[in-house]
Homo-oligomer: A and B are copies of this chain.
C-alpha cells in the first residue's frame, strides 16, 4: 500500500468498508495511504462481519447508517477493502448512497482481484438467490496489491483460481495451457506466477466487459459454471462452500453437459478435471445436493429469459463457448442425475 490515492479521491471525505478479518491486517495501511499527501481528507470506516452470509440487506444498511451518521455528501468516496463480498456490497452502497458516489476497489483476495472487482457488478443476496439485488456501477479505480495475498488462506487462494481457469476455458486456450504448466507455482504462491495470472485474468475480463457492460450476451459467458455453482451455494446455504469451490463443481457439470451434447471431445473433460484437482478444487457438488434443489434455484437464475434457462456451455476446440437456451433438455436432466444421488 505504498501508493497514493489523491488522484482518485475527489471530495474530502472517505469511508472504507471492510470486514473483521481484513481490518486488523490492512485498515491502518489504507487509512495512511489515503491521507498521505492529502491531509484535508477525513477517513471513516465500517467493519462488517466476514462472510457471504452477511451479504444481505441488513448488513448493507449498516454501511448506509455509518455514511449518514458521518454526514458524507455526494463528493465523498467509498473504498471497498476486502474480497468479493465486501466489493459487491460496498459497490452497491456507493451506487445507491445519494443515488451514486465515487467508488474505489482494493481487492484482497484472488477471487476479487481476478474477477469481482473488475467490471462493475455490485449487489447483495436475497434469501432466495445470490446477487438478485444490485446495480451495474463502475469503480473509479481498482487497486491490486498482490502482497495482500500473503495472508490469504489456502482455500481462498484455490477458490480464486476457479475463475482464472474459467478465462482459459471460455476464451483463452493459450492462458489455459500456461496454467496447465504453472498450476503448482500458483498454488505455492510464486509472486511472478500470481501476478501474471491476475494480469491476464483482468485483461480477459476487461475486454469482455468493455464489449458488453450490461450483459446482453457476451458478458454472460463469464458465468461458466456459475448457474450450477449458484445453485450449490444457495441450496447448501451461503458460506459453506466458497464461491470458487461452487464454481469449480459447476464448471465440471457444465463441461459434462457440453460433452453429453456432443459439443466437445472427451480430452477437454479430462483436462478440466485434472486442472481443478491440481488447484485443490472440488470436481463434484456436495453429496447432499438433489436434482430438485438444483432445479428450484436455477429457475430464478438471472440468465432465465421469458422462462427459458440459457447456459454457458463449451463448444468446439479448447477456449470456445456459447451462451444459449438451445440445447436438448435431456442433457441437462442427465447431467443433474449424474451428479446427484436423488
Give the distance to chain B from A67, nearest Cβ to Cβ, in Å: 8
Query: A68 contacts B299, CB within 8 Å?
Result: no
How far does the alpha carbon of A303 sit from the alpha carbon of B74 in the complex, in Å?
7
What B residues does A95 contact at CB under 8 A?
Answer: 135
A contact face: mostly helix, strand, loop, or mixed: mixed
Can you sample 24 A-B contacts with CB below 8 Å?
A12-B306, A64-B126, A64-B133, A65-B126, A68-B129, A68-B132, A71-B299, A71-B300, A71-B304, A73-B302, A73-B304, A73-B306, A74-B302, A74-B305, A92-B96, A95-B135, A96-B96, A96-B135, A97-B132, A97-B133, A98-B302, A99-B131, A100-B135, A100-B214
Query: Which of B100, B134, B305 sits near A96, CB closer than 8 Å?
Result: B134
Give the distance to chain B from A87, nearest Cβ to Cβ, in Å: 15
Query: Which of B96, B98, B306 sits near A11, CB closer than 8 Å?
Result: B306
Give the distance to chain B from A295, nearest Cβ to Cβ, in Å: 12
How far does the alpha carbon of A122 sit from the alpha carbon of B135 in the complex, in Å?
13
Identical subunits present: 2
Partner-B contacts on A (CB < 8 A): 11-13, 57, 61, 64-65, 68-69, 71, 73-75, 92, 95-100, 121-123, 126, 128-129, 131-136, 214, 299-300, 302-307
Query: Which of B11, B61, B300, B302 sits near A57, CB closer than 8 Å?
Result: B61
Give the distance to chain B from A144, nearest Cβ to Cβ, in Å: 24
Most buried by B among A12, A71, A96, A214: A96
Give the distance to chain B from A73, nearest Cβ to Cβ, in Å: 4
How far does the alpha carbon of A97 sit from the alpha carbon of B132 in the complex, in Å?
6
What B residues does A75 contact at CB under 8 A?
Answer: 305-306
Give the distance to chain B from A138, nearest Cβ to Cβ, in Å: 13
How far does the alpha carbon of A114 sit from the alpha carbon of B13 in the complex, in Å?
35
Query: B99 contacts A136, CB within 8 Å?
Result: yes
Query: B135 contacts A135, CB within 8 Å?
Result: yes
What B residues does A92 contact at CB under 8 A?
Answer: 96
What B residues does A136 contact at CB under 8 A?
Answer: 99-100
Nearest B residue to A40 via CB reads B306
How far does the alpha carbon of A69 sit from the alpha carbon of B74 in the complex, in Å?
35
Decide: A69 near B128, CB < 8 A? Known: A11-B306, A305-B75, A306-B11.
yes
Query: A133 contacts B304, CB within 8 Å?
Result: no
Give the distance to chain B from A265, nearest Cβ to Cβ, in Å: 33
How far does the alpha carbon of A74 sit from the alpha carbon of B74 in the complex, in Å?
30
Query: Which of B99, B122, B126, B131 sits near A134, CB closer than 8 Å?
Result: B99
What B residues does A126 contact at CB under 8 A?
Answer: 64-65, 68
What B residues does A307 contact at CB under 8 A?
Answer: 12, 73
Give the distance to chain B from A106, nearest Cβ to Cβ, in Å: 22
How far does the alpha carbon of A73 sit from the alpha carbon of B310 in the complex, in Å?
12
Decide: A121 near B99, CB < 8 A? Known: A12-B306, A302-B74, A304-B73.
yes
Q: Give 20 A-B pairs besides A64-B133, A74-B302, A75-B305 with Cβ atoms closer than 8 angstroms.
A: A12-B306, A13-B306, A57-B57, A57-B61, A64-B126, A68-B126, A71-B300, A71-B304, A73-B302, A73-B305, A73-B307, A74-B304, A74-B305, A92-B96, A95-B135, A96-B123, A96-B134, A96-B135, A98-B134, A99-B123
